[in-house]
Structure 1
Amino acid sequence: MEVLQLLISGLANGCVYGLIALGFVLIYKATEAVNFAQGDFMMLGAFVTLGLVNPEYAGIPFWLALPLVFLIMGVLGYLLDIVVLRAVFGQSQVAVIIVTIALGFVIRFAVGEIWGHEPQSLRSPLALGDVRIGELVLGLADIAVIIVTLIMTFLLWQFFQRTKMGLAMQAASQNQMAAYYMGIPVKRIQGMVWALAGIVAAVAGILYASKGALDPTAGFIGIKAFAAAVIGGFGSLPGALLGGLIVGVIEPFASRYLPPGWSQIAPYALLIAVLLFRPHGLFAQVRAKKV
């Protein structure tokens, strides 16, 4: 029973890591840039939802607020690409990384100024309390997080496989020049990828906030999500989600069965091992890029 409880808790946390990791991989595949502010976008999406839903703020019903949250985060992601990232287009990858790290600090400062630095709780219908089955106590929020992540993953898979926009995104990620000559508006597609990554971050933020308190430092879990993306294979969307699940499951088991403190370093120890023995990641789709 204890093992099952730890497993479900780990899978729920891993789903959040996996969704943030999906954002990393989406942006990297489309632009070959690494957005180290993705975790802070997750936190921002959660606070935007909190600001719209909680009675002490706007007090909009949760399900009515969701489309507005996704629109706001999608627009912010798109604007980030066309206003900030294109300004450093042609610069080294280091310049892009520094810009996104700085952006993370700006987001944390802005959120702290608007909503404060004290932990707050989102009025989410996904926070359903606990259910006891014999000696097993399951958080219904954890179950809801797993179910929502499965639905989100299926919708993303359908989007990339069955829509013109999804196919265009895949083409642009493989070879931007060839995609351009085929008539695909590469710059607009890249902006849409950043918008999609913003929406995915918002979903992750809502799920994260449904499980517990939220404060501006919550964006730091993006570091674990980045580790999850590398472990799964940085160019693989399924690998990002599976890497998140692995990291999520490792933490509670390490906390329970290993000495104190090991739960914090276990994901990074696994990251080092993967980089040493399988540098492309556990589920990487390694293939030559067409030129």
Structure 2
Amino acid sequence: MDVVQLLVSGLANGCVYGLVALGFVLIYKATEAVNFAQGDLMMLGAFVTLGLVNPQYLGIPFWLALPLALLIMAAIGYLIDATILRAVFGESQTSVIILTIALGFVIRFVVGVIWGHDPQSLHSPLAGGELRFGGVVLSVADLAVIITTLLLTFFLFQFFQRTRIGLAMQAASQNQMAAYYMGIPVKRVQGLVWALAGVVAAVAGVLYASKGAIDPNAGFIGIKAFAAAVIGGFGSLPGALFGGIIVGVIEPFAARYLPPGYSQIAPYALLILVLVFRPHGLFAQVRTKKV
């Protein structure tokens, strides 16, 4: 039963990593850029919701504040692309990586100035409740994380495979100039991708904050989520989910059965092994780039 409890706990945490990893993959699938500020966008989404919901701030009912928070994060994602990313449009991926790393520091600073650096708890109806299945305990927040992650991964996969805008996003990532000449508004498409990544980050942030207290350093979860995206196969939406689950499950088992401290390095040890023996990831969708 102890093993089952560890598995359930790891699955819930892994789904949070998977949600953040989905944001990495969304940006990469549409722009071939890596957004290292995705974890900080998740943290910002959590604090935006906290600012709308908690009584010491605006005190809006949770289910009214949630769609408003999603809209705010979509707007923030779009504005980041329109005002910052377009300034380096056409530059190397290294420039974008450095820019997003700096953006993450700025987001953490702004959140610290507005909400402070002390841990805070989101007043969420998902927090606190528990479900028991025999000797296994599953919190309502964990169940919400698992269900939301599975549904979101499915709908995003269908979006990229079956909708015109999803196919346009992938075409723009393959060859921006060719996509432009084919009538695809490349800059607008990229703005929509960043808006969508902002929404996914907000969903991840709300679910993460429902599981426990948050502070501006919560954005560093993006490092583990990046490892999850690489392990699963960068560019694969199902791979991001499975990579997150793998990382999430490894941690509690390493903490339980390995010497102290090994749980922190276990995901990165796996990352090294994957990069050595399967560089494209465990669930990679390898494709030839069209030029």
* TM-score between both structures, scaled by the size of structure 2: 0.96
Counterpart of 2:78, as a letter, is Y
Indicate whether 1:274 and 2:274 are aligned: yes
**Partner of 2:45 in structure 1?**
45
**Partner of 2:240 in structure 1?**
240
Q: Distance in 2 between matches of 1:158 and 1:128?
A: 33
Instruction: Give RMSD over aligned pairs.
Output: 1.3
Structure 1 residues 173, 90: CA separation in 2 closer, same or farther (over 3 Å shift)? closer
**Partner of 1:158 in structure 2?**
158
Q: Distance in 2 between matches of 1:46 and 1:259?
A: 33
Moved more, 112-121 or 29-38: 29-38
> 1:95, CA displacement in angstroms?
1.9
Counterpart of 2:85, as a letter, is L
**Partner of 2:191 in structure 1?**
191
Q: Distance in 2 between matches of 1:153 and 1:27?
A: 14
> 1:154, CA displacement in angstroms?
2.4
**Partner of 1:200 in structure 2?**
200
**Partner of 2:130 in structure 1?**
130
> What secondary structure is seen at the aligned counterpart in 1 of 2:131?
strand
> 1:241, CA displacement in angstroms?
1.2
> 1:77, CA displacement in angstroms?
0.7
Counterpart of 1:228, as a letter, is A
Counterpart of 1:221, as a letter, is I
Counterpart of 1:158, as a letter, is Q
Indicate whether 1:284 and 2:287 are aligned: no
**Partner of 2:5 in structure 1?**
5
**Partner of 2:145 in structure 1?**
145
Q: Distance in 2 between matches of 1:166 and 1:62?
A: 31
Q: Is the 8 A contact 1:17 1:228 kept in 2?
A: yes
**Partner of 2:180 in structure 1?**
180
**Partner of 1:86 in structure 2?**
86
> 1:159, CA displacement in angstroms?
2.4
1:245-274 CA-to-partner distances (Å, cap 9, x unmatched) read 110111111111111111100000000000
> 1:128, CA displacement in angstroms?
3.8
Counterpart of 1:164, as a letter, is R
Structure 1 stretches lacking a partner, 5+ long: none
Q: Distance in 2 between matches of 1:85 and 1:99?
A: 8
Structure 1 residues 195, 182: CA separation in 2 closer, same or farther (over 3 Å shift)? same
**Partner of 1:58 in structure 2?**
58
* TM-score between both structures, scaled by the size of structure 1: 0.96
> 1:68, CA displacement in angstroms?
1.0
Q: Distance in 1 between matches of 2:156 and 2:202?
A: 14
Moved more, 18-27 or 152-161: 152-161
Q: Distance in 1 between matches of 2:160 and 2:125?
A: 29
> 1:90, CA displacement in angstroms?
2.9
**Partner of 1:227 in structure 2?**
227
Indicate whether 1:212 and 2:224 are aligned: no
Q: Is the 8 A contact 1:8 1:143 kept in 2?
A: no
Counterpart of 1:139, as a letter, is S
Q: Is the 8 A contact 2:38 2:222 kept in 1?
A: yes
Structure 2 stretches lacking a partner, 5+ long: none
Moved more, 274-283 or 126-135: 126-135
Indicate whether 1:101 and 2:87 are aligned: no
**Partner of 1:258 in structure 2?**
258
Q: Distance in 2 between matches of 1:151 and 1:125?
A: 20
Q: Distance in 1 between matches of 2:85 and 2:143?
A: 37
